Amino acid sequence: MLAQTGAGTTLRYNTTTSGSHTYRLEVTASSPLDATINRQSATVTGTLNKIAPTPPTISATPNVQLGASNNQIEQGATGTISFTSAYGSSNGYTQVSLVNSTTSPITVPSGNTGIAITATANYTSPGTDNVPTDTPSIQSTPTVYSKIISVRYGASVATSYTQAQLENLALWDTTLGGTIGTIAKGAINPVSAGTFNLVMNGGNYGYIVVDSTYTLTGILNTGAFDSNDLNEFTRTVVGPYAVYRTNALKGNTIPYRLTI
């Protein structure tokens, strides 16, 4: 009589595969006395460890006034942002759905409201493939567009502007059909606007507009050895804008740079 194997006896079968597989270990013994065959088997349930899917991706195409470089949109700009999303690497999971946080195209909202776009990819690895069933949801890195107020400068006979008028970029910027001057898109800090010409020919008020979180310490006339003409301007806060307007009508062109 053969001795019975005891508990804890190890039978090893090492394998490395990809995908979903089921393994069953059977031990077969045959008797030399009567040729009977005895089969013993056991099924062991384990957890299949998969690499998680990678996040989905978003590809956006902005079509807005003055552009959206660095994902920055000038406050008041109009336009749309079209986008598409795509699954990342599924890594063996079954794709279920790809859900966007909003629909494309997005109309650029008014005011200082920004835009955030995300996509969520939903997957499954059911009980026949994975124990227990795994249903991960993977979110993309948000694609975010923020609103900014850039330095602008120009001239007109108007004595003041409302916030609505300042947010009407096409009224101001000559590249958009405006008649007043230039919006230096992306120059949020007044210093970064560098030297610019304030053209007031024909008798106009000169205007310099910056984000109201900044207060200018200098409006330096670079054509007159950086003489500070700050006292020739009056500062008025209009909503989120700080508007500097010359105290009197001017009829010349002056190169300026700003300090804070």
Residues 126 and 140 in one domain: yes
Q: 48 in a domain, yes or no?
A: no
pLDDT at residue 244 greater than cutoff 70: yes
pLDDT band of 164, cuts 50, 70, 90: very high
Residue 229 exposed, middle or buried by CB count within 10 Å (0-12, 13-18, 19+): middle
Query: Is there a single domain that holds both residue 131 and residue 157?
Result: no
Query: Is 14 part of a structural domain of the chain?
Result: no
105-124 mean pLDDT: 97
Residue 88 in domain: yes
Q: Give the burial string for 76-96 (b: 16+ CB within 10 Å, else e).
A: bbbbebebebebeebebbeee
Same domain, 127 and 159: no
Query: Where a domain ends, among 114, 148, 182?
Result: 148
95 and 162 in a single domain? The answer is: no
Looking at the fold, whether 183 and 238 belong to one and the same domain comes out as yes
Q: Which of 167, 175, 68, 169 is nearest to 115 (CA)?
A: 68
Judge whether residue 120 has pLDDT over 80. Answer: yes
Count of alpha carbons within 13 angstroms of residue 217, beta-carbon side: 4
The dihedral of CA 174, 178, 180, 185: what is its sign? negative
Statement to judge: residues 63 and 144 lie in one domain: yes
pLDDT-derived band at 238, boundaries 50, 70, 90: very high
Whether residues 161 and 227 share a domain: the answer is yes
Q: Is residue 1 part of a domain?
A: no
Range of the domain at 197: 152-259
pLDDT above 80 (res 77):
yes
Asked if residue 30 belongs to a domain, the reply is no
- Determine, yes or no, domain membership for 22: no
Which of 85, 115, 148 is the last residue before a domain boundary?
Answer: 148
The verdict on 166 and 77 lying in the same domain is no
Of the CA atoms within 13 Å of residue 8, those in its CB half-sphere come to 0
Same domain, yes or no: 98 and 117 = yes
- For the question of whether the overall pTM of this predicted structure is more than 0.85, the answer is no
Among 101, 129, 148, the domain-final residue is: 148
Phi and psi torsions of 98, nearest 5°: -125, 115
Find the distance separating the first CA and the last CA of the chain, reported in whole Å. 99
Alpha carbons within 13 angstroms on the beta-carbon side of residue 144 total 7
* CB contact at 8 A, 150 and 183: yes
In this prediction, residue 235 carries a pLDDT of: 98
- Answer whether residue 27 is part of any domain: no
Is the domain of 255 the same as that of 156?
A: yes
* The total number of structural domains that make up the chain: 2
Collapse the DSSP code of 171 into the 3-class scheme (helix H, G, I; strand E, B; otherwise coil) and give the result: helix
Question: Are 134 and 167 found together in one domain?
Answer: no
Q: What is the pLDDT, as a whole number, of residue 37? A: 77
